[in-house]
Amino acid sequence: VNSYRQALSKLKETLGDSKVFDDPKILYAYSFDASGLSSGRPFCVVRAFSREDVVATLKVAHKYSIPVTVRGSGTSLTGASIPSENSIVLDLSPMNKIIEVNVVDGYVVVEPGVRLDDLNSELAKYGYFVPPDPASSSTCSVGGCVAEDAGGMRGAKYGTFRNWVLALEVVLPDGETVFLGEPVMKCRQGLSLLHLMIGSEGLLGVITKIYLKIWPLPEKIVRLLALFNRVEDAGRVVAETRRNGIIPLIMEFLDRNVLKFVREATGLNLPEAEAAIIADVDGPSEAVWRYAEKLKKMMERCGAFYVKASDDPSEMEKLYTARRAAYPACLKLRPMPAVLIEDITVPPSKIPEMLKSIYIIAEKYSVPVVVFGHIGDGNLHPVIYTDPRKPDLWSRAEKCFEEICLAAVRLGGTIAGEHGIGLVKRKVLVKELEERKSLKALELMKKIKYVFDSKGIMNPGKVFL
């Protein structure tokens, strides 16, 4: 108690009262993230406006051995950004400057609290963008995207944030600052600490400045909607496109129930089908319709009973809105109070088998499961409905969750494509590594964590059981 009191007065003395909060109402508000879980109440919240504020906070936390949970916008779906009991929440949302756009050298420099959509609005003025686009892009921070290695719809073509980070400024748990990587096209600096930081979920240090590669905006996009009577037929489209040399910009999957939820939640006029795919092809204006026609034929060959391609802005916007609304609609119209959301990723050739397994496993445990996801890169988000007040149902939902994860691993995939591990996937991470006979990897991860953070103050309880 004494050390907490001393730490609080030291933080207030160094940073000023306006940046340090211990009002219980504020602490309560910071106890959650988008996962809907709450693990503990922080003992104070620091709102950082600069790297110096971060350094000062970590020095105090380190001295008094107080846990720190870094927070971007709190949109984590795995509980990565909810604080542990009596921790300091370090809120980076005030660090929201776009520092430099350098088109010729091909990068942008930002503070971590910049919202992803704000960054892309600014880059659009130059005809550029940062491609990964989590569906939370209107809210999530760039720092959170790097720390989660977030993906999104355009992952089908451009991968996750990992592919776009050139360099990072990082404040280590003891308050020392390091610069990792360089803002150049190629950089080999011994072992890549830069890539250790990407996806590190606040476990190793605080990212305070980010250099991202930028890319020219697509010249033209044509959007397709395809409808299927059989889910597995939709699943076959991805392998078919790859076999024929087309990599779509986005390729999104929605099953019958997700389409229904989106229709009801948004009022959009969407057709009924067992499964739908929304896909974008992009490229030079002269070529893009040719690609779209090719893709349309492939979808028909796979069994689509309806395919429409359009470059009409309002039609395109409607489909994009439908896809972005998928998860919020699944939450809004949920038939049960709680959800477990999966993030499995399998090789494209295994998608039909994976889809089939999901519904079989759901039936086995008698739990409602709906599926949507970034099918273009094999990343599916089955949503399992459950109720924490009903122990039998909860246990069946947990078993269903685990069995879907294991099915993905056995098909050569992984339990987590883009949402990270956080609190929710710690157990299944162990299962995945066990299945691969690679528990040694977990041991190495824990040793690396110790090298960065020997006092274990950074986001304790996350990632590792």
Ligand X SMILES: Cc1cc2nc3c(=O)[nH]c(=O)nc-3n(C[C@H](O)[C@H](O)[C@H](O)COP(=O)(O)OP(=O)(O)OC[C@H]3O[C@@H](n4cnc5c(N)ncnc54)[C@H](O)[C@@H]3O)c2cc1C
The footprint of ligand X (CB under 6 A) covers 33-34, 69-77, 80-81, 92, 112, 134-136, 140-141, 143-145, 147-148, 150-152, 201-202, 206-207, 327-328, 418-419, 459
Tell me whether residue 180 or residue 207 sits nearer to ligand X (CB atom): 207
Tell me whether residue 163 or residue 435 sits nearer to ligand X (CB atom): 163
Tell me whether residue 116 or residue 123 sits nearer to ligand X (CB atom): 116
Considering the complex, what minimum distance in angstroms separates the CB of residue 410 from ligand X? 23
Contact yes or no for 393/367 (Cβ under 8 A): yes
Tell me whether residue 115 or residue 263 sits nearer to ligand X (CB atom): 115
Measured CA to CA, the distance from residue 368 to residue 336 in angstroms comes to 9
Considering the complex, what minimum distance in angstroms separates the CB of residue 138 from ligand X? 9
Considering the complex, what minimum distance in angstroms separates the CB of residue 257 from ligand X? 17
Considering the complex, what minimum distance in angstroms separates the CB of residue 459 from ligand X? 5
| CA torsion, ordered 60, 62, 67, 70, to nearest 10 deg | 70
Q: Kindly give the residue spans of alpha helices, DSSP state H, lying in 187-343.
A: 193-197, 231-243, 256-266, 285-301, 313-324, 326-332
Measured CA to CA, the distance from residue 119 to residue 101 in angstroms comes to 10
Considering the complex, what minimum distance in angstroms separates the CB of residue 326 from ligand X? 9
- Which one-letter DSSP state was computed for residue 433? H
Other CB atoms within a 10 A radius of the CB of residue 328 amount to 15
Contact yes or no for 354/235 (Cβ under 8 A): yes
Element (H, E) at 179: strand 177-181
Measured CA to CA, the distance from residue 318 to residue 311 in angstroms comes to 12
Question: Please, what is the end-to-end C-alpha distance for the chain in angstroms?
Answer: 27
Measured CA to CA, the distance from residue 397 to residue 393 in angstroms comes to 6
Considering the complex, what minimum distance in angstroms separates the CB of residue 374 from ligand X? 7
Tell me whether residue 309 or residue 424 sits nearer to ligand X (CB atom): 424
Measured CA to CA, the distance from residue 169 to residue 161 in angstroms comes to 16
Contact yes or no for 202/69 (Cβ under 8 A): yes
Tell me whether residue 144 or residue 378 sits nearer to ligand X (CB atom): 144
- Kind of pairing, strands 44-47 and 88-91? parallel
Angle between helices 231-243 and 351-365 (to 10 degrees): 160
Tell me whether residue 307 or residue 460 sits nearer to ligand X (CB atom): 460
Tell me whether residue 71 or residue 350 sits nearer to ligand X (CB atom): 71
Tell me whether residue 52 or residue 435 sits nearer to ligand X (CB atom): 52
Please state, in angstroms and as integers, the Cα–Cα distance from residue 171 to each residue in 50, 178, 224, following that order.
Answer: 11, 6, 45
Question: Which residue type occupies 465?
Answer: L
Considering the complex, what minimum distance in angstroms separates the CB of residue 225 from ligand X? 19
**Which residue is at the shortest CB distance from ligand X?**
144
**Tokens found for residue 19:** 């940046």
Considering the complex, what minimum distance in angstroms separates the CB of residue 174 from ligand X? 15
Considering the complex, what minimum distance in angstroms separates the CB of residue 328 from ligand X? 6
Tell me whether residue 69 or residue 414 sits nearer to ligand X (CB atom): 69
CA neighbor of 276 nearest in space, from 302, 255, 249, 250:
255
Contact yes or no for 381/358 (Cβ under 8 A): no
Tell me whether residue 316 or residue 339 sits nearer to ligand X (CB atom): 339
Considering the complex, what minimum distance in angstroms separates the CB of residue 103 from ligand X? 25
Considering the complex, what minimum distance in angstroms separates the CB of residue 62 from ligand X? 16
CA neighbor of 248 nearest in space, from 292, 312, 307:
292
Other CB atoms within a 10 A radius of the CB of residue 418 amount to 24
Other CB atoms within a 10 A radius of the CB of residue 125 amount to 8
Considering the complex, what minimum distance in angstroms separates the CB of residue 9 from ligand X? 25
Measured CA to CA, the distance from residue 395 to residue 373 in angstroms comes to 25
Tell me whether residue 342 or residue 418 sits nearer to ligand X (CB atom): 418
